[in-house]
Amino acid sequence: MKKTGSGVVTTYLVDDRNLTGYAQVVLETINNSAGEQRQYVYGLERLSQYRTLSSAPAETSYYGYDGHGSVRFLTTTSATITDTYDYDAFGNLVNSTGLTPNEFRFAAEQFDFDLGLYYNRARYLNSGTGRFWTMDTNEGFYTEPLSLHHYLYAVDDPVTRVDPSGRTSSAEQLTAAAGEDTIAGAEASNNTLAFRILQALQGRGATFTVVGSASVVIPNFPALASSFEQGEGLVIELQEELFAIRYVTQAVIKGGVANSPWWGVQLFNDAQAAINELALVQEGQQFPNLAEEIIFGVIPRGTQLIVGFVESQGTLSGGAFQIYNAAYELMALNPQMLVGKL
């Protein structure tokens, strides 16, 4: 994609498959007299900017963040601070030092200097008013009155919440994550398990609110804890429906040893994506061993799930997806709650 501003054309290369869980700019090519390019390196967040010019040596800047996830300073490769940034609650810059070109600031989002707005993917944010430029397509929830205001940023709580997707529900989903207020807070307090779970769910397109940690919310969770990495999971409530595929494989023999049948679940927020994946499973292209049973269905909005990483697998799949009813009776994600057995 590209933009034109003040007679300068900037082209962006965007990666939507990275560890941050959101589409991120990995390369900017700026058609100016300096022949400038900026390359970005990512881990769980943006780590560095590598800037090249046609008439000057290349420069590398490393990002320093606060607990909210906002960029507070830049350093050189020798850890010398070159730039600093201070913001108010809604991201307005109140003080800065340094001259290093940098568009990524409040909540680590990209500031468009031509528009004077932050780019939060689905919508642009005006930090001066604390409002998005356009209306949220999510209707909101009557149990969350502030969600009915379709222009608010982070449901009017920018100190403890963030909204990287530009949708109100994305801000709401960060609350109470295993005792943390935000993903940034989970990471800052070294609650890496909660951080990884939330990032993985966002990468799957799930829209949800976090009820709390499974060990606290569900009295009989210990009976299931051994199936989860670190014996813990998060309880979430879906704010939009998800499409699911559950498959059961037949037993296979590897190296003369018989492996028991196993099952897994994949979640999608797009029906066509689920159908495409289902076709691969049916054709035997997705798994080397044919699935004996395939179930396709919809997990409705309002469903509460226990999510976490499967012990020994390190992935959000299989037995780590559980559903429970009002009586907190644990049930595996199975045909009883999915429809359309094939």
| pLDDT for the residue numbered 33 | 80
Neighbours of 6 (CB within 10 A): 7
Q: What percent of the chain has pLDDT over 90?
A: 32
- 187 and 332 inside one domain: yes
- 146 and 177 inside one domain: no
Q: pLDDT tens across 98-113, in order?
A: 999 999 999 999 999 9
**DSSP 3-state of 227:** helix
- 156 and 180 inside one domain: no
Number of domains in the chain: 3
| pLDDT for the residue numbered 281 | 54
- 277 and 331 inside one domain: yes
At which of 114, 130, 156 does a domain end?
A: 114
Q: pLDDT tens across 58-97, in order?
A: 999 999 999 889 999 999 999 999 999 999 999 999 999 9
Phi, psi of 278 (to 5 degrees): -60, -40
- 104 and 120 inside one domain: no
Distance CA 201, CA 233 (A): 12
- 180 and 293 inside one domain: yes
Mean pLDDT score of the chain: 74
Q: pLDDT tens across 116-131, in order?
A: 999 999 899 999 999 9
- Asked if 183 and 177 touch (Cβ cutoff 8 Å), the reply is yes
- Asked if 234 and 214 touch (Cβ cutoff 8 Å), the reply is yes
pLDDT above 60 for 252: no
Buried/exposed 284-320: b ≥16 CB within 10 Å, e otherwise: eeeeeeebeebbbbbbeeebbbbbbbbeeeeebbbbb
Range of the domain at 195: 173-342
Output the CA–CA distances (angstroms, integers) from residue 327 to 226, 227, 337, in the order listed. 21, 21, 16
At which of 150, 166, 182 does a domain end?
A: 166
Q: pLDDT tens across 234-251, in order?
A: 777 777 777 776 666 555
- 122 and 266 inside one domain: no
Buried/exposed 33-66: b ≥16 CB within 10 Å, e otherwise: eeebbbbbeeeebbebbebeeeeeeebebbbbbe
- 210 and 108 inside one domain: no
- Asked if 266 and 338 touch (Cβ cutoff 8 Å), the reply is no
Which string of DSSP letters, residue by residue, matches 129-197? Answer: TTEESS--SS--BTTBGGGGSTTBSGGG-TTT---TTSSHHHHHTTTTBTTBSSHHHHHHTT-HHHHHH
Distance CA 25, CA 40 (A): 7
- 280 and 213 inside one domain: yes
- 307 and 192 inside one domain: yes
- 257 and 287 inside one domain: yes
- 218 and 249 inside one domain: yes
pLDDT above 60 for 230: yes
pLDDT above 80 for 134: yes
Q: Rounded to two decimals, what is the model's pTM?
A: 0.55
At which of 100, 132, 166 does a domain end?
A: 166
- Asked if 204 and 275 touch (Cβ cutoff 8 Å), the reply is no
